[in-house]
Structure 1
Amino acid sequence: MAAKIVAALVCMVVMLRLSEAAVYKVGESAGWTTIANVDYKLWASTKTFHIGDTVLFEYNPQFHNVMRVTHSMYRSCNSSKPISTFTTGNDSITLTNHGHHFFFCGVPGHCLAGQKLDLNVIHPASSTPLSDPPISSSSTSPPSTPTIPAAGVPGSSPSHAASLPSAAAAVVALFVSLVFADFAS
């Protein structure tokens, strides 16, 4: 019985941690584009990104891509040696550590036209939501979720975060059922 309780507690801790993660669709309904004149700097400034959050880049892969780059490459829109390149049109990226994460579209002229994004993942101790969380923008699950480290530039930004409270409720229900199953035996 003790082993089941320990296993249930471990599951609960993991699921509660996951239930705090948010999914952000870059550019909201416009997505990742140059056509809609999205201000990605403004978009990012209205969010507080945390470790474990996922950013979703949705775009037409015939006309765009997503490159993860260093800070100096970001500033100069230099696409010669990206850290990584995504080309599916439905790229889901999990943020794994605090600091800045730099992205832009590597199609010539797109970065210079403003299709670039600086996401700042705050240190866990400095998280303070400023307003109510938004509803998730995507109704479909992305096919895969690569994880990426931050570029190592400190800073913070204000927030809106979506959470997954149903996962926490499921873990609590599992824990309770395991405990009561042993008592009934």
Structure 2
Amino acid sequence: MGKSVCSAVVLLSIAFLQLSVVCYGAVYFVGDKTGWTTLGNYDYKAWAATKNFQVGDVITFVYHSEIHNVLQVTEPEYTSCNVTKKPILSFATGNDSITLTTNGHHYFLCGVSGHCQKGQKVDVNVGANSHNGSAPSPSVNVTNPSTPVSPLSPNNGGKLSLGWFVRMVVPAGVVMFVG
């Protein structure tokens, strides 16, 4: 009887984890494996155009912190590459993750002189998330991971998902545990 109760608990846990997948957003690395840089004339506008950002998704800027930074700014400041007042948010760790918590445009640029003019800026346009039934909270939620992020392979498009982890790793653990 003990083994069947344990198996039932494990199966219920897996079911819960599968359902929780819809509550978490995708993780996008700005610029994919190129990162946040002025080198190579990377086209961040084209990068953003290939993404379907949703409320709850996370965008991560990976860059050399002694050379670049990330500022969240207003649309006019983004368009003109001229930050005239204090930015909405400012980042300088070299590995900054921002949770997108509202729909609409979120404008980011490098505040180092000349970098925005060279194209180091991105407009992240967040659409409605059909899985989010709650009222929107402030525009972004910032977390700065303490460990560096490893580069992504080119075939994943810069998008990671908790669903992948749950669907691949958890069942393998169950097979080992139950078997």
Read off the aligned partner of 1:64 and give its amino acid letter: H
Q: 2:69 aligns with which of 44, 65, 69?
A: 65
The question of 1:50 aligning with 2:66 is answered no
TM-aligned CA distance change 1:28 to 1:171, over 3 Å: closer
Read off the aligned partner of 1:103 and give its amino acid letter: F
Structure 2: runs of 5+ lacking an equivalent: 1-8, 131-143, 148-156, 172-179
Which secondary structure state, in structure 2, belongs to the residue aligned with residue 110 of structure 1? coil
Structure 1: runs of 5+ lacking an equivalent: 126-140, 145-158, 173-185
| TM-score of the superposed pair, with normalisation by structure 2 | 0.65
Give 1:78 shift: 1.9
Structure number with the higher helix fraction is 2
Give 1:51 shift: 1.1
The question of 1:142 aligning with 2:142 is answered no
The question of 1:119 aligning with 2:124 is answered yes
Give 1:104 shift: 0.0
CA–CA distance in structure 1, aligned partners of residues 95 and 58 of structure 2: 12
Q: How many residues align?
A: 142
Check the 8 A contact 1:12/1:171 in 2, yes or no: no
Give 1:65 shift: 0.2
Q: What percent of counterpart residues are identical?
A: 47
The question of 1:106 aligning with 2:111 is answered yes
Give 1:167 shift: 3.4
Query: How much is the aligned-residue C-alpha RMSD, in angstroms?
Result: 3.2
